[in-house]
A and B are shown apart, each in its own frame.
Chain A
């Protein structure tokens, strides 16, 4: 069980004059599932990108720490697993090649047993050598989970995790969420009630909308 802390302090994001959300404060400090909810266009994905360090907040800051030590932005990617509909894997490579490159670029060991187990969990083991461009949208979505979990991250960010998935895929995702939440922090951004059912705390982003918006 990790001692990961994710904290947002007065986080505000604006695109030009348009304020997406402002003065957002949250703290996820114990292992478990946390949710971010709000209507379409409320800024859920923007907040997820800010938490993952891909985007910067306009005002405020996001603090990631483990065992009371702040994680520097250059190393943050090693602690995060990210799944979203707008994440794209390399279509000219097979699933196996993609995962091999990701491990090498991250400079983590390529654990074949773990990868095969994940491919098995997400029912992709028989298609591991096929090019990703031949996959259906649901298979690509399942591949993104393997990409997010392969390096055993302490923080898993799931933006609309069940989009494009069939019932079997959704069940697998929920099983994985339950399993991973015992070891680390899982943050889900979604509007689906079934996705947010496991959350012990939900941030309603609509509450942090600018009054004039």
Chain B
């Protein structure tokens, strides 16, 4: 990441610290979603495979509630024109992507810690595999969310369009991440999860390449 994109990231970070657009909605969503799951489970014990699935359900919907802000807030405030006048499209995408990456990692670390504390069944037996899954999935989630946010920021009904458009694009990532998280809970080895890991790596590379190639067209007009 070059210095221009880092400057844009710092601008977004300071803007977020002052306005709390994304952080507040993310925090509220995480608390509400985990509480609803806890209330609906009650005293029942959930299967281990389901614990991994529920973990990604919270992550997916939390991402939907906060990650679109990167571009939507610029569009809603009318500052996207200003951005276009000071930076090249690739710089803007890099800066926004870095901001969303940090946000996704922070958000998912909080969700993972809360899950570990509140759900007895969420015990990670293959920690190294979980760590790799966590990092690769978060990268994929951040890249896909950023480019989808750029697309929907130009549309009229932003709020409803974001999860609708994200679902088919994120489905391969979510399904593979659910599978890998279940493997981590069961205690599967690296070798047994090679195919799923390869799928996520391919997803990340494809999304990143396609995003940089398409962003120019999305951002203009």
Could you say which of B2, B4, B85, B89 contacts A82, with CB atoms under 8 Å apart?
Answer: B85
Give complex CA distance A77, B82 in Å. Answer: 10
Cβ distance B73 to chain A, nearest Cβ, rounded Å: 10
* B18 and A77 within 8 A (CB): no
- Of residues 85 to 125 in A, which have CB atoms within 8 Å of B's CB atoms? 86-93, 97, 101-102, 104-107
* A52 and B19 within 8 A (CB): no
- Of residues 37 to 95 in B, which have CB atoms within 8 Å of A's CB atoms? 77-79, 81-82, 84-91, 95
Give complex CA distance A92, B14 in Å. Answer: 9
- Of residues 1 to 44 in B, which have CB atoms within 8 Å of A's CB atoms? 2-4, 7-8, 10-11, 14-15, 18-19
A134 at the interface (CB under 8 A from B): no
B192 at the interface (CB under 8 A from A): no
A42 at the interface (CB under 8 A from B): no
Contacts of A102 in B (CB 8 A): 86
Give complex CA distance A36, B4 in Å. Answer: 33
A14 at the interface (CB under 8 A from B): no
A74 at the interface (CB under 8 A from B): yes
B221 at the interface (CB under 8 A from A): yes
Contacts of A75 in B (CB 8 A): 88
Cβ distance A102 to chain B, nearest Cβ, rounded Å: 5
A66 at the interface (CB under 8 A from B): no
Contacts of B14 in A (CB 8 A): 93, 97
* B15 and A92 within 8 A (CB): yes
* A106 and B86 within 8 A (CB): yes
Contacts of A105 in B (CB 8 A): 4, 7-8, 11, 86-87, 91, 95
* A93 and B15 within 8 A (CB): yes
Give complex CA distance A106, B2 in Å. Answer: 11
Contacts of A88 in B (CB 8 A): 77-79, 81-82
Residue of A nearest to B19 (CB): A92
Given contact pairs A74-B90, A92-B19, A107-B4, A80 touches B82 in the complex (Cβ within 8 A): no
- Residue in A86, A90, A102, A105 with the greatest tally of chain B CB atoms within 10 Å: A105
Give complex CA distance A147, B83 in Å. Answer: 12
The range of chain B's interface size is 20 to 34
A56 at the interface (CB under 8 A from B): yes
* B221 and A56 within 8 A (CB): yes
Contacts of B11 in A (CB 8 A): 90, 101, 104-105
* B85 and A80 within 8 A (CB): yes
Give complex CA distance A55, B78 in Å. Answer: 15
Give complex CA distance A77, B2 in Å. Answer: 17
Contacts of A80 in B (CB 8 A): 85
Give complex CA distance A91, B8 in Å. Answer: 16
Quick one: CB contact mask for A145-176 with B, threshold 8 Å, 1 for yes?
A: 00100000000000000000000000000000
A59 at the interface (CB under 8 A from B): no
Residue of B nearest to A81 (CB): B85
Cβ distance A86 to chain B, nearest Cβ, rounded Å: 7
Give complex CA distance A199, B61 in Å. Answer: 56
A197 at the interface (CB under 8 A from B): no
* B4 and A106 within 8 A (CB): yes
Contacts of A106 in B (CB 8 A): 4, 86-87
* A54 and B79 within 8 A (CB): no
Give complex CA distance A106, B84 in Å. Answer: 11
- Of residues 16 to 74 in A, which have CB atoms within 8 Å of B's CB atoms? 52-56, 74
Q: Can you list 27 residue pairs at the A/B interface with Cβ under 8 Å?
A: A52-B85, A53-B84, A54-B84, A54-B220, A56-B221, A77-B88, A86-B81, A88-B77, A88-B78, A88-B79, A90-B11, A90-B79, A92-B19, A93-B14, A93-B15, A93-B18, A101-B7, A104-B3, A104-B4, A105-B4, A105-B11, A105-B91, A106-B87, A107-B2, A107-B3, A107-B4, A147-B82
Q: Which 5 A-B pairs have the closest CB atoms?
A: A104-B7, A88-B78, A74-B88, A101-B11, A92-B18
| Known A87-B85, A89-B79, A105-B87; further 17 A-B contacts with Cβ < 8 A | A52-B85, A54-B85, A74-B90, A77-B85, A77-B86, A77-B88, A88-B79, A90-B11, A90-B15, A92-B15, A93-B14, A104-B7, A105-B86, A105-B91, A106-B4, A107-B4, A107-B7
